[in-house]
Structure 1
Amino acid sequence: MKFKNMVVATVLAVSQVAMVLPASAEEAVQNTNQSNQATMNSSDQTITSSNPANQNQSGNGVTEGVTSPDSQVQEQAPTDTVDGITPVEGEGTDNGNTVNPVAEPVTPVNTDTTVNSGNNQLILMMNSNKMYQNGKEYIAGYPMEVKNGVSYISIRAIVERAGFNLTFDNKTKETIIKRGSDELRFKTASSSYKVNGVTKTMKGSSYVVKNNFMVPLTAITSALNITYSVDQPAKKVIVNLSINPVASFKVGNTEIVAGETNVQYIPSSYSPTGLEIVNEEWIGREDVFSTPGSYTVTYRVQDSSGQWSNPYSLTINVVKPHTPPVANFMTNKDTYKMGELITYSDFSTDEVEITNRQWENKQLAFFTPGPTTIRLTVTNKFGLTSTIERTITITNETLYNRDDFYKLYTPVGDKFAFDGTTVPSWEKVNYSFSSEASTLIRSNSPETVYSEGVVYRESANGNTRFMIHHVNSTGKNVKMYVIATNNNSETTRLTQTSLGFAGPNQYATGVGKASVDRYYESLQTGSKYKDMWIAPGESKLILTDLSAIAMKNGDVISLFSDMYSDRTLKYTVIMIDANKDPFTTLPYLTNLLEDIHNRGTYTEATRVIEYSDLVGETPVRLMLGDNSKDPFLIGTDGVNKNSYKVNAGNFGVVYRIKLYRVAPNTLVTFNPRGGRYYGSIMVNGNIVQMSTSGSLSAPNEQSVLYRTGDREQTLELLFTAAPASNLSVNLLLQSLPEYKN
């Protein structure tokens, strides 16, 4: 009986040693065991000794002549009450009649220095189930052992001593170790585990034995960056549980100016083990650096265990104080006639960059005699300013009257005031038009959307244009989607040829104008061209710019796009909560009722106007969107097929205008008639703003689009009305005044 007890004690001691050895020691144990096996008999006899002093020791401190514990272990099926999850009655080391709990020290510490441990060290004794920490002795709950050259440890044996958190996930059947922000997840009978969500491979497979969950020791130490060392003479493995806190900081200022900037230090620190940060230290920190140069600032912190972090350093570049810009301009002379063009030359300078120029009383010409002062204020990127003013003299002579001067010298894209009440008496260009096959899907009602739902739906094939303009008034963040569904038996190709999208923001007129500008740009560059294929029965999101950013309450979006499909597709335009999935939500959405704005489906939505007679010798006007020369499109409501629709203003219609003979010295301008207008137009392929300084007011403002030279020209214009602006509009053509010296 005594012999049997000696065998068991020896096996347990050896398995303890194998369990706590580092990777290199694991291999040494394996080699030793293989060597031992070569000297053993084929029978189950084992040569043992209960007195280590009488045993022959190998160079690695492992007792020779002991069988591997692998043959001693009987594995059990996984349960939910493994070690460290639900305490097992009697768990500990069974010494016959006594069970020693793992959680409490059992004997006073031997004063021998070979077993003394520091506050952050766990000492695992070789050939023993004893552990030492903070001057106290503990007994491992289950012997550590080696299997197939891999050292295994009961999770609780190290977790309780290291102060980690141990839980069990009943749903995933995973044992979880947590240390601060680190998380390890183990499964029974698996050679892989997860470290902070990333799957990694262990040196061996985990298993359960006698309600203890066994894992490779190195799986824990490597994942948590725990270092250890082996003290061969003292027969112990020293696990370093000291985890230093981590410190860092950043500077909130984009620029630090000597003697001016209060430096914004933003420190960040934490303890991986969750300890409190109790102290910090700065070296080289200054709230305001008095002189320019490069400065190194270092930061470190201390946790409640007394451990300091590694120092973290940043180099801070301090620049010299900025100087204000220098404002300067000149006019081409000091004295001018009334109505004479003034040329301004801006010579302002700055050490880096001038970001704003603010002119006061800068006019192209003056029409009142006497001295007049012009002022220029410039601002640089640092907010520093400089102002200069110059005074010129206007004589009593007149070169041009006000009307003639602005016709000649207003820059293209700028506006000037005139008496617009005379325009209705001008002769109309007696044009005719043809149409190109194009289906306009106008989703613009309800323009202000108060609840989630379907704002429009329609089916179309061939050339299709989308005009979408809506305001979010649901009181929450939403997104808009266009879903294309292929109900055909064959795959359908859908080609996007152009796209202009703007928003979301709170300014309807600005969004409407920007969407048209970007639509023109896509026509110029082809940058929005793309193909997509939709399989039979498939639904796809198209025009995804709409849903790229959520619309806040009060935001407006606006979109123009030309597309082509080789088969009929069903299109559904929806507005839903920004967090919802459009496909799963669609079946539950109801159709929203329209408001006073227009929605509908209109065919032949591209109008081609070609005029071959000479224009410009006398004042003439070409009217658009007036429902007379340019009749409104008639269509149907895609939601309510029995509803008759009139596209008032012809929003969404694209006009291709070609005037073959424009007289020499002709001024071409844009004059709104229905109200304020924000927008642009393409003239001979170039995008021209109606007014670079803002909107145009009807009827007494006009914006310069083009001036012909000294010979006839052909003029091509492309125009579509900007959402949130007003129609009708006129294109005015008139002779320029004679130039004078």
Structure 2
Amino acid sequence: MNFKRLIITTIFIASQLAMVIPVSAEEVVKQDPVSAIEQRAAVTSNNAGANAADTQAQANNSVDPTQEDGLNKGESSDKDTSVTEENGKTEGTDKEGTVDDNQAEQPAGTEESQDGNAADGSDNGSTEPVTSPDNSVNATSTGGQLVLMMNSNKMYQNGKEYKAGYPMEVKEGVSYVSIRAIVERAGLQLSFDNKTKETIITRGTDELRFKLDTTNYRVNGVVTQMKGKSYSAKNNFMVPLTAITKALGIPYSVDNVGKRVILNLSTKPVASFSIGNKEVVAGETEVQYVTSSSSPSGLPIVNEEWTGRQDMFMEPGTYTVTYRVQDSNGQWSDPFSMTIKVAKPHTPPVANFSTDKDTYKMGELITYTDLSTDEVSIEERVWDNKALAFFTPGPKTISLKVVNPFGLSSTVEKTIMITNETLYERDDFNKLFVPVGEKFTFDGSSVPSWERVNYSISSDPVTLIRSNSPETVYSEGRVYKETASGSMRFMVHHVNSTGKNMKMYVIATNKNETTTRLTQTSLGFGGPSQYATAAGKVSVERYYKSLQSGDKYKDIWIAPGESKIILTELNAITMKQGDVISLFADMYSDQSLEFDVIMIDPNKDPFTAQPTLVNLETDVHNRGTYEDSTRYFQYNDLVGTTRTRLLIGDNSSDPYLIGHDPLKNNEYKLNAGNFGVLYKIKLNRVAPNTLITFNPRGGRYSGSIMVNGDIVQLSSLSGPNDNNVLFRTGDREQTVEFVFTAAPGSNLSVNLLLQPLPEVKQ
């Protein structure tokens, strides 16, 4: 009897143990997932009451999705089981939600393991599969789902349990996961950039770069801040979960009752396309289809299918074109559709013009009126034989060709008659009618005999720092160095002939014991250009514009012992072989500063390179520091009643500045041509009906000059026989003011010529 009772008692105890001890979550023995489900069901049936209570307790402890800090009330962060956004709010709900691309965090990151293994392929927390546990009813995933268990290192995919190297956890309201765990389970590619110390996740054409202990990462090169900082936990690189889901557009849902996050990992390929043409015109445009396709699993794309595609649409209208692709597993992408608007064929412009008369005397002004039209606009006008006047008799045919933005053109011709009667000789006609800014030729050999305007000269104490030698730079180094204070003007003009890309910098260093204020008041930059005259002309024009507008004004504060890059337009571009740059700038410093002008490899740090640079030798051009570089010319007597000239940069009426070169032991320097000098010329009494022109004496000249506050662009002048119209006075005496600085790349000296206008004839 006692023996039978003992057997019954043993069986009873064993049955009780079977009901209360679940299958271990750490079980590694292979087990059929269905059997596990059945076992769990059996346990549930035997403990229905207990499980019902547990379920209610679990529901009571679930996280409120609206809770700001992602924690249950009265619960410490190390027990938190919610998945939280970077802003501290709960991520998702029990419904499936798609990640908002506009909120995607796009920082610059790296997987830099404590021992160097996490990024190079070794696995401190590999996600080897183990048997589905007895609670797989709540945890297993199917199809393209990956289930992450909150506050756990367990993950489930396709009925199998995997383990991350470190649990998903919440720190300061941000949910973190191990990069390696997500990458392995989501079919992404993982690599490490030893140079930048960044961990790289790739999926198709998408690239995410993370760096350890930072709050930003990069997605396809775009940098964005994260609310949480990446970190390492037991050699596992941890990043905010949504940094990955949002950047890669991975939909997810949150099950707070089941304490899990469900990622939907679609394995479908993705297809898209764009149109490479700016406009598609019926019967004219061969459509450029630019396709893009990828597989989230990295599978090759083996097939594509189009619907509605035409290489050329023959009729105007709206067309829908659809594109999809197939991967090597046979899966088709969702169709991608685009609506293409096909415009009607363009028509050529209509060229047309008129003249104010059909018959003219020789030397009589011809007025042309352009009457051309186009449905959009006319991009180019090409005149042939369009003269302001003709000086030989007979029929004259003028033509005009007009071109629209689509390359379509038309041409029109008109013939006028020139009689034997003369109204003006050519020279008188040019003086009266050639427009301001345009040139005419004349006999310039007589100009040296014209009477000089004996203007008075004064100057402002502006220090000119001219960095113009070696003009052609053959190796990196220091092209100039100077210490200056007060008002100063920089002129920088150089050619890169090093055979490789280079950059120029101007570095200002404060060696005083107090902060220095450096004020930039005006600046003009030209280049890079392959032509010195072009870069010089543009720099002067932009310098004048900054004098007019003041838009280049800025203050720069330099602390004691600090160096700063100034005149940043110089280093904003990379100079290729043969490129020319040119710069003018006016500045003021309340204390002395040391200025370094250097040319170095663009990949070098200028502050690191600066102390090691050699001083480059000069060439035939000029560099130096010159005082009193703003000159005033003033003349109070009446001019214009006879032929007179005002000389600039001749070293006689206008003496050259004398200075020194600090890189050559303060060697004596003469500023030939006075390049970098700013001239302010005021003629207080200019007679009525006076013509004022610009006449180069030293050779070719290309630049501009300000006349009464307006910028006059000069034509390309070839020498002393060219005359560029600057100004004509009216029927009253008036004051005329000029602002002028010589354009680098051009030649000095130059003359301003003043002479009476011919009598106007009817």
Q: TM-score, normalised by structure 1?
A: 0.79
Task: State the match for 1:316 in structure 2.
Answer: 340
In the other structure, the counterpart of 1:705 is 726
- Verify: 1:382 aligned to 2:374, yes or no: no
Structure 2: distance between partners of 1:116 and 1:703 = 87
Please give the alpha-carbon distance, in whole angstroms, between the structure 2 residues aligned to 1:361 and 1:503.
34
1:335 aligns with 2:335: no
Q: Which whole-Å CA distance do the structure 1 matches of 2:120 and 2:43 have between them?
A: 33
How far apart are 1:499 and its partner, in Å? 0.7
1:584-595 correspondence runs (5 A): 584-595=608-619
Distance in 1 between residues matched to 2:237 and 2:23, nearest whole Å: 19
Q: For structure 1, which segment, 567-576 or 243-252, has the greater mean C-alpha deviation from structure 2 after superposition? A: 243-252
- TM superposition shift of 1:55: 3.1
CA distance in 1, matches of 2:628, 2:367: 48
TM-aligned CA deviation for residue 679 of structure 1: 1.0
1:481-500 equivalence runs, <5 A: 481-500=505-524
| CA-CA distance at 1:585 after TM superposition | 1.1
In the alignment, which residue of structure 1 is the partner of 2:624?
600
Residue by residue over 1:6-57, the C-alpha shift from the partner in whole angstroms, topping out at 9 and shown as x without a partner, is: 59951625999xxxxxxxxxxxxxxxxxxxxxxxxxxxxxxx9995653327
Which one of the candidate residues 12, 31, 39 is aligned to 2:24?
12
Q: Distance in 2 between matches of 1:238 and 1:483?
A: 56
Q: Aligned partners of 2:486, 2:177: CA distance in 1, in Å?
A: 71
Give 2:759's aligned amino acid.
E
The Cα shift of 1:307 comes to: 3.1
Q: Whole-Å Cα distance in 2 between the matches of residues 159 and 625 of structure 1? A: 72
CA change 1:554–1:153 in 2 (3 A) is: closer
SS of residue matched to 2:332: coil
Deviations for 1:406-461, whole angstroms, at most 9, x for unmatched residues?
Answer: 01111111111111111111111122311111111110000000111110011111
Paired residue for 1:668?
692
TM-score, normalised via structure 2 length: 0.77
> Structure 1 residues 61 and 157, CA, compared in 2 at 3 Å: closer, same or farther?
farther
- Letter paired with 1:55: N
* 2:47 alignment counterpart: 55
Secondary structure of the residue aligned to 2:48 is: coil
CA 1:6–1:588 in 2, change beyond 3 Å: closer, same or farther?
farther
- Between the aligned partners of 2:120 and 2:466, the Cα distance in structure 1 is 65
| Separation of aligned partners in 2, 1:193 and 1:486 | 34
CA contact (8 A) 2:124 2:165 kept: no
Give the distance between the partners of 2:216 and 2:546, measured in 1 at CA.
52
Match of 1:635 among 624, 634, 659: 659
Shift of 1:170: 11
Q: Which moves more between the two structures, 520-529 or 214-223? A: 214-223
Instruction: Tell me the equivalent position of 2:267.
Output: 243
Q: CA deviation at 1:309?
A: 2.6
Query: Is 1:345 equivalent to 2:369 in the alignment?
Result: yes
Question: 2:574 matched to 1:550?
Answer: yes
The CA distance in 1 between the partners of 2:237 and 2:482, in whole Å, is 63
**Secondary structure of the residue that 1:510 maps to in structure 2?**
helix
State the Cα deviation string for residues 564-623 of structure 1 (Å, max 9, x = none): 111111111111111221111111111111100000000011111111111111111111
Q: Hey, what's the Cα distance between the residues in 2 that align with 1:272 and 1:335?
A: 77
Mapping of residues 106-125 of structure 1, within 5 Å = 120=144
How many residues in Structure 1 have an aligned counterpart in Structure 2? 673
Question: Which residues of structure 2 form unaligned runs of 5+?
Answer: 1-12, 29-39, 62-113
Q: 1:272 to 1:339 in 2, by over 3 A?
A: same
Judged with a 3 Å threshold, the aligned counterparts in structure 2 of structure 1 residues 722 and 228 are, in CA distance, closer, same or farther, namely: closer
Match status 1:541 vs 2:562: no
Task: Provide the C-alpha distance between the structure 2 equivalents of 1:174 and 1:510, rounded to a whole number of angstroms.
Answer: 44
Which amino acid counterpart does residue 737 of structure 2 have in structure 1?
E
Larger radius of gyration: 1
1:253 aligns with 2:277: yes
Within-5 A mapping of 1:125-136: none
Give 1:549-698 correspondences, 5 Å limit.
549-691=573-715, 695-698=716-719
Residues 439 and 463, structure 1, Cα contact 8 Å, conserved in 2:
yes
Q: Is the 8 A contact 1:472 1:552 kept in 2?
A: yes
Aligned to 1:41: none
Tell me, yes or no, if the aligned pair for 2:187 and 2:296 is still in contact at 8 Å.
no
* Cα distance change, pair 146–2 in 1 and its aligned pair in 2 (3 A): farther
Q: Which residue identity lines up with residue 730 of structure 1 in the other structure?
A: N
1:73 matched residue in structure 2:
none
Counterpart check, 1:393 vs 2:385: no
Tell me, yes or no, if the aligned pair for 1:130 and 1:138 is still in contact at 8 Å.
Answer: no
Q: Please point out which of 748, 754, 757 is paired with 1:727.
A: 748
Q: Would you say the 8 A contact 1:456–1:573 is kept in 2? A: yes
The answer to whether residue 449 in structure 2 is matched with residue 432 in structure 1 is no
**What RMSD in Å do the two structures reach over aligned CA positions?**
4.8
Partners of 1:375 and 1:195 in 2: CA distance: 58
Out of 328, 350, 357, the residue aligned to residue 326 of structure 1 is: 350
Q: What pairs with 1:3-152 in structure 2 (closer than 5 Å)?
A: 10=22, 12=24, 53-56=45-48, 120=144
Equivalent residue number for residue 20 of structure 1: none
SS of the residue corresponding to residue 329 of structure 2 reads coil
Map of 2:759 onto structure 1: 738
Contact 1:13 1:143 in 2 (8 A): no
Equivalent position amino acid for 1:605 in 2: S
Q: Distance in 1 between matches of 2:53 and 2:242?
A: 19
Residue 471, structure 1, aligned to residue 495, structure 2: yes
Matches within 5 A, 1:290-309: 290-309=314-333
1:15/1:144 contact within 8 Å kept: no
Mark the CA change 1:168 to 1:652 in structure 2 (over 3 Å): closer, same or farther: closer
> Residue 358 of structure 2 contacts residue 416 of structure 2 at CA under 8 Å; is this kept in 1?
yes
Cα deviation for residue 280 of structure 1 reads 2.1
Is 2:735 the counterpart of 1:714?
yes
CA 1:139–1:254 in 2, change beyond 3 Å: closer, same or farther? closer
Q: Distance in 1 between matches of 2:164 and 2:671?
A: 84
Q: What is the alpha-carbon distance in structure 1 between the residues aligned to residue 190 and residue 664 of structure 2?
A: 62
CA contact (8 A) 2:156 2:162 kept: no
Distance change (3 Å), C-alpha of 1:146 and 1:477: closer
Q: How many Å separate the matches in 2 of 1:217 and 1:435?
A: 68
Structure 1 position 657, deviation (Å) = 0.8
Identical positions, percent? 63
CA separation in 2, counterparts of 1:223 and 1:420? 71
CA gap of 1:267–1:446, structure 2 versus 1, over 3 A, is same
Distance 1:151 1:627 in 2: 77
Give yes or no for the alignment of 1:280 onto 2:312: no
